[in-house]
Chains A and B, each alone.
Chain A
């Protein structure tokens, strides 16, 4: 009986266990309070200097991209075409609407003062944020004209059906943000802080902004005599001088500006730094190299024949008009502006990729690697030329994406040329002349007997303007400035209807193609023919005058009928100029 009783006891105790267990189950009402283990607590971000800086850090890559590879396709620089109707109100091309990043900047500017950070921590962070906002608005305004100014993070219940501010209001806002940034930032960041926006950056951008503001794009009826040129001159003069005072100058060697061993040289005002192993290939070297020494893709930044042709001769005169150097198609590569050799690889040019000593680049069928040939019936998206500027030939084929070339957003040469342009419009042609000489001298152009660097004497204002435009085209190849310069100066007609050409190289009779394998063939062992480029899409550029201001995306207008479309697009009535 005792045995039975024990069993009974046990059974009772189990039932009790069971009941306790069930009750304990029902008591678990905290189960759903799961901590979010993958997020930062927003409350901490504005009280911790490192986290606040982290917030700012995240904005940088959103605002500043890498090299504008293939941007020159839109102009007379690179392979590729803007065909008919490349821009429409409903296509995504040439639409700038960076309000997501602007909101994130606005969050910083409105939240940071709610936290407990000291002024010395907060001020530079705010200064950088103001600059970024100005930079984004500026890029947007030169696309579309005036856009809605949003200067604080909107709440969902605010009136979101905002209207476009006038182009003038936008420029004022940009300038005001830049002024604020200037007061909050130190003069110059170096060392571990290099790559951060500093006061020098602000000054340089103010110059760029004022140049655009004065330019024909915004003053169609009074392109050269409008009052904004005065401000442009002042701002750029200030930039030129103040930056010089801070130690900025031209790098002695044009090609060396982008050298990975010469980072942060005195010409660099603001750059996006690339560094192994985490942030590399802003230059998209894998896309720009010849495929035989790259991987996956090629065809990026392929200069067209017209671009090659635009380079002056070594004495600064245009090809054909040089008193010293004769020019013809079969010797086109000889005696050119040294910037040509620093920027472009041509058939037979040395190109010691992957560290291959003595390697030359060929583009001719039968000599070049099958993947690198330009010619009829061969690969598409080739022009017979490859880019050199910013490339790192030492990289092996497998590590081609490890290019560490910085993207220089603002360099002193631009400040100088911006100044030259404003000076010329103010009638100070001599000041402009001095700048061009500086630029050409650094480029390595022969000074010539009269130290005119091929520029000629007593240039008039109009001639000087053209010279400056030409200089910018050469100086800034692959830097994504040409298309916007054509728009800024209202010169899109120069490329409207243009058909682009490449250069076909053919090995001369009697030459042995196998000599190419040991790089014995020279450029003069080939004959050259200019050949139209046949791409996938349009074969002719179309850049109508409506492209001086791109339309607001139709989807945005559909969502917000208060947005008025630009004149010239879908019957819009908004005037994007400053007139």
Chain B
């Protein structure tokens, strides 16, 4: 904190120290104008265009300028000369003064040329260089793209160049020349890629980095940035398990990341380590680029937190000498499920229940007797089916608006954004909104000093009906979905007093329950809410100083301070409804005919709270990060060296306060003053936390002739988590590249770029990003324990913490990466190929398997296990254009698979099928299914042999599992199926191959982008949230939709086992190969069509560019996995959505 104050003071001092003008100091007697101009160029960096010829006759003079402004210097030195000057965009053009112009003696006639330079879309290009070939004359295009060059030969040729555009040669003509520039298809030399603590030209990269440019994602809607990355970043697997509003995606870099804990890469935004939420809430319009550092060669510079890779985000900046440009973007989108929610009718449910009853009686050897539902029931429900989703489900709608302005003057550039995003969820009464802003200003205080301020913040609010069984932060409400999508169709949710079904709007209606302990419609509308509001303010101050005396040396300081608050408020009202009274139809044993409502005995579900309550939970988190950089950048002949030395320090602290007040006076007031003042109805709790880390970082990058490139970096990283003396770790990396295409012997015409590169590096994981490794495990700690009542006193207990492990240290990953980059056919075809091998060692593991339980301590994590991950990535991009159409196609594919090298398991396990060694983490385990037994003879034969499944006789309509082992996993079948017969069914529980294909074409004003995304080498098992390892249960909210096709005597070819009850393994409850199918899918992830309105329409109203766009997301999916969307977590988890978006993008 103290440091922050110093930083701010230092910053302010520096700001007040100088004006924003360029200053020149030059004292020399008898100097020439050209010497002066050289000096100006050196000191200010401004280019000066003049004709040597014209200066020939200028006499020398004495210069004496002390920190004078550029204008003063020029005014004084040119005062007595026949010259004048203009300054445009860091370029000074010296011209002859008309009044005293000397008519030049030229052999050919001369002329003045004016013109304007535009890009392909007719937008002015600012700062393009126009040179007259063979002369030193030239100009720079101004903010309107215009230029003027006076007095050139009539047959002169103009050479117009601009970074990223194909250089154009054109004959000068009189009149206003309209010169249109086209973008270079792929100018590798010009592509700059973010790397840790800096950026490099793409051609200089020696490691594996995937990048996304903001413009590729700007037109695609998503409430979270992570959802946009799928199929766009090679080497990253984006797992989207839910289509719920505000839900984010998981990111997995190069297969399974760290050994324990999370897999999410470290997020760094504008050089500041940030959280995953910070990343998710970024507005695509404030992002300039996203880079994913995949190999340790590039990631090692982030040291002990970089084992899962690093996601680097650079936010947008303004540009020097750019007129203010406003962009306004708005879109509206709507979602619906990619697959319909499983449908069934009341009749399906009756059949299910009758079958269940029948099969249960059969199994117990009891007479079947009367079925629960007879013909009268079937007749009654023929045209009745109470669909819960009709009342509570909707197709969500989202809006997003953002306004940006960017621009700059000579010394100041700025970028500002204000954004707003609002969405509602598929369940009614679920809303999400986000406001965010960024304000970034960078100023050249003097020629040596630059200051930048980058302020950003957001407010995010999640508001939904109160449902305590999904975590506060759950972005899927999957428990609620699980309970509601298969709700019984037999009973109305609202009835009149006489039992007549009605809806919730009917003033004579009452909330009713026919089954279950609560009314789900009331939950949505009338049982309170939970609102979570996040506020974040983040400020970054940057001070860059060129060190005057040593050429190429500069230093800068960056300070960041961020404040995060989170407030979650719960307003909990009981779910109250009235039991429906039923009468019997005279035949069925279950009554279902409503005859009234039991108003005297309301059913009250208290949502696991004893009292109607208002709860508040507040978190305050603040942190700072401070960096000091010393940079050196110099070229000596063909040698380019850049080096950095960086110090980084950060601290953070957090406070959580929770409280509640219960026993509300009125159920309709959501304020604490409405809660009882009885102390026992009130609750309070809280805690604090603190963390700190510091590190020294160094890097040397060396290039010879842009041909041979080598880089070395290290980080000496310290973390508060570990014991003093064991806090620091050293994470080095080394990498090199050879650009073969630069060699003189290399003369294959169609290859523009060919580079081989290799890297080695080491990174760590101290578990702080996901909290998997608690701090202070190295020492003995006593924590608050369980409380207990003595007498009337509820007394606090103290418990010892985990057994200390003084040797605890971070997990380490060392990785090797070899890669090949190429560019062919004039930059039309570019590609990258990487092979990598990663060894993760010192993986934290609690050694329970080998330490006897009699030791009795909750053991600390120790650095024990080891894992290898191997894989490759390949990406290819082709761009071309014909006269009217420009198009591109690209593809990327990544493969990764891990295997355990060391794992804490009992000695007896080694070498057996149960051992993890040599196997990947994500495997499917279960029984081998031989299908449903449909033939009574088979049952009889098995029975005759005494064959048992889980202690039960084989049953017709049940699955038959393969007997492969006997007791204690002896590899001899024993004629019975039990846990010993489980085995591993697949090593591909997660997709091993992830790929994306993008296609883009532009014709006149229309542009179409298509993104296909897919996974392969993936086995998916049908599972539910209650049977996460696979299998589907039958009772307690059965999946009527699925079980509608279950085996029964009436449906002997049914696809699924017969219906009996919950918990029977052979009826589908256990994971088995029966439920597995190929989970590979290819999905039309994105289609984006945009159209630029003709400029003649819009220019009149002052609009430079206007674009309308339509985007569709998740439009089509091809997969052999049919039970539900292959990206969906489980049968009963929240579905994946397809999204349709229309929007408008205006630049003015």
- Residues on A lying within 8 angstroms of B by beta carbon are 1, 4, 7-8, 10-11, 13-15, 17-18, 21-22, 24-26, 28, 31-42, 45, 51, 53-62, 83-85, 89-90, 97, 99-104, 106-107, 148, 150, 153-154, 156, 160-162, 191-196, 272-279, 291-292, 295-296, 356, 365-366, 369-371, 375-378, 380, 396-399, 401-402, 517, 532, 534, 536-539, 553-556, 558-560, 563, 570
- Of B604, B680, B850, B856, chain A has the most CB atoms within 10 Å of the CB of B856
Q: If the complex has contacts A13-B13, A38-B783, A97-B853, are A4 and B790 also in contact, measured as CB distance less than 8 A? A: no
Q: Are B853 and A402 in contact (CB under 8 A)?
A: no
CB-CB under 8 A from B579, the residues of chain A are 292, 369-370
CB-CB under 8 A from B687, the residues of chain A are 37-38
Query: Mind listing 29 A-B residue pairs with CB under 8 Å?
Result: A7-B17, A11-B17, A11-B18, A17-B14, A21-B6, A28-B694, A31-B720, A34-B692, A37-B689, A38-B688, A42-B781, A53-B795, A55-B798, A56-B797, A58-B788, A58-B798, A99-B855, A150-B854, A191-B791, A192-B791, A195-B789, A371-B517, A376-B369, A377-B370, A380-B1061, A534-B360, A536-B1063, A556-B854, A559-B851
Q: If the complex has contacts A32-B692, A32-B720, are A54 and B798 also in contact, measured as CB distance less than 8 A? A: yes
Q: Number of B interface residues, CB 8 Å?
A: 118
Name A559's contact: one of B10, B361, B797, B906 (CB within 8 Å): B906
Q: How far is the CA of A51 from the CA of B16 in the complex (A)?
A: 57
Q: If the complex has contacts A104-B799, A365-B591, are A18 and B856 also in contact, measured as CB distance less than 8 A? A: no
| A446 CB, nearest partner CB in chain B, Å | 38
Name A161's contact: one of B514, B852, B1064 (CB within 8 Å): B852
Name B584's contact: one of A193, A196, A366, A534 (CB within 8 Å): A366
Q: How far is the CA of A1 from the CA of B25 in the complex (A)?
A: 12
A-B contacts besides A32-B694, A37-B688, A570-B968, 14 pairs, CB < 8 Å: A17-B13, A21-B6, A38-B689, A39-B781, A99-B853, A103-B856, A153-B857, A195-B790, A276-B680, A279-B794, A295-B605, A398-B611, A556-B852, A560-B854
CB-CB under 8 A from B855, the residues of chain A are 99, 103, 154, 156, 160
Q: Mark B455-470, 1 if CB is under 8 A from A, else 0.
A: 0000000000000000
CB-CB under 8 A from A28, the residues of chain B are 3, 649, 694
Q: How far is the CA of A153 from the CA of B804 in the complex (A)?
A: 13
CB-CB under 8 A from B680, the residues of chain A are 276-277
Q: How far is the CA of A291 from the CA of B651 in the complex (A)?
A: 52
Q: How far is the CA of A275 from the CA of B775 in the complex (A)?
A: 35
Q: Tell whether B978 is near chain A: CB-to-CB under 8 Å.
A: yes
| A3 CB, nearest partner CB in chain B, Å | 9
CB-CB under 8 A from B16, the residues of chain A are 10
Q: How far is the CA of A56 from the CA of B951 in the complex (A)?
A: 45
Q: Are B792 and A192 in contact (CB under 8 A)?
A: yes
Q: How far is the CA of A182 from the CA of B724 in the complex (A)?
A: 46
Name A397's contact: one of B10, B584, B604, B795 (CB within 8 Å): B604
CB-CB under 8 A from A41, the residues of chain B are 782
- Residues on B lying within 8 angstroms of A by beta carbon are 3, 6-7, 9-10, 13-14, 16-18, 66-68, 353, 357, 360-361, 363-364, 366, 369-372, 446, 514-515, 517, 543, 545, 555, 557, 574, 579, 581-582, 584, 589-591, 598, 600-601, 603-606, 608, 610-611, 626, 628, 647, 649, 651, 680-681, 687-694, 718-720, 724, 727, 775-776, 780-801, 803, 849-858, 906, 908-909, 951, 967-968, 978-979, 1035, 1061-1064
| A157 CB, nearest partner CB in chain B, Å | 11
| A312 CB, nearest partner CB in chain B, Å | 31
Q: Are B364 and A100 in contact (CB under 8 A)?
A: no
CB-CB under 8 A from B581, the residues of chain A are 517
CB-CB under 8 A from A154, the residues of chain B are 854-856
CB-CB under 8 A from B791, the residues of chain A are 191-195, 273
CB-CB under 8 A from B3, the residues of chain A are 24-25, 28
| A443 CB, nearest partner CB in chain B, Å | 30
Q: How far is the CA of A91 from the CA of B564 in the complex (A)?
A: 47
Q: How far is the CA of A284 from the CA of B584 in the complex (A)?
A: 34
Q: How far is the CA of A292 from the CA of B601 in the complex (A)?
A: 9
Quick one: closest B residue to A107, CB to CB? B800
CB-CB under 8 A from A39, the residues of chain B are 776, 781-783, 801
Mostly, the B contact residues are mixed
Q: Are A559 and B604 in contact (CB under 8 A)?
A: no
| B929 CB, nearest partner CB in chain A, Å | 21
Q: How far is the CA of A161 from the CA of B853 in the complex (A)?
A: 10
CB-CB under 8 A from B7, the residues of chain A are 21
Interchain pairs with CB closer than 8 A, number: 310
Name B797's contact: one of A55, A162, A397 (CB within 8 Å): A55
Q: Are A18 and B803 in contact (CB under 8 A)?
A: no
Q: Are A560 and B852 in contact (CB under 8 A)?
A: yes
CB-CB under 8 A from A22, the residues of chain B are 555, 557, 628
Q: Are B574 and A376 in contact (CB under 8 A)?
A: no
- Of B517, B581, B647, chain A has the most CB atoms within 10 Å of the CB of B517
Q: Are A558 and B858 in contact (CB under 8 A)?
A: no
Q: How far is the CA of A103 from the CA of B801 in the complex (A)?
A: 12
Q: Are A42 and B782 in contact (CB under 8 A)?
A: yes
Q: If the complex has contacts A45-B782, A57-B796, A375-B589, are A34 and B691 also in contact, measured as CB distance less than 8 A? A: yes
Quick one: closest B residue to A531, CB to CB? B366
CB-CB under 8 A from B598, the residues of chain A are 517
Q: Are B604 and A33 in contact (CB under 8 A)?
A: no
Q: How far is the CA of A59 from the CA of B626 in the complex (A)?
A: 45
Q: How far is the CA of A181 from the CA of B728 in the complex (A)?
A: 49
Q: Are A150 and B1063 in contact (CB under 8 A)?
A: no
Closest 9 CB pairs of A and B: A58-B797, A103-B856, A58-B785, A192-B791, A99-B856, A57-B797, A377-B372, A39-B781, A54-B798
CB-CB under 8 A from B796, the residues of chain A are 54, 57
Q: How far is the CA of A196 from the CA of B788 in the complex (A)?
A: 10
CB-CB under 8 A from B801, the residues of chain A are 39
Q: Are B649 and A31 in contact (CB under 8 A)?
A: yes
Quick one: closest B residue to A280, CB to CB? B610
CB-CB under 8 A from B850, the residues of chain A are 559
| A50 CB, nearest partner CB in chain B, Å | 9
| B1069 CB, nearest partner CB in chain A, Å | 10
Q: Are B17 and A559 in contact (CB under 8 A)?
A: no
Quick one: closest B residue to A91, CB to CB? B979
Q: Are A554 and B788 in contact (CB under 8 A)?
A: no
Q: Are A36 and B852 in contact (CB under 8 A)?
A: no
CB-CB under 8 A from B785, the residues of chain A are 54-55, 57-58
CB-CB under 8 A from A534, the residues of chain B are 360-361, 363-364, 366
Q: How far is the CA of A14 from the CA of B17 in the complex (A)?
A: 8
Q: How far is the CA of A370 from the CA of B785 in the complex (A)?
A: 42
Name A25's contact: one of B584, B589, B647, B858 (CB within 8 Å): B647
Q: How far is the CA of A560 from the CA of B791 in the complex (A)?
A: 43
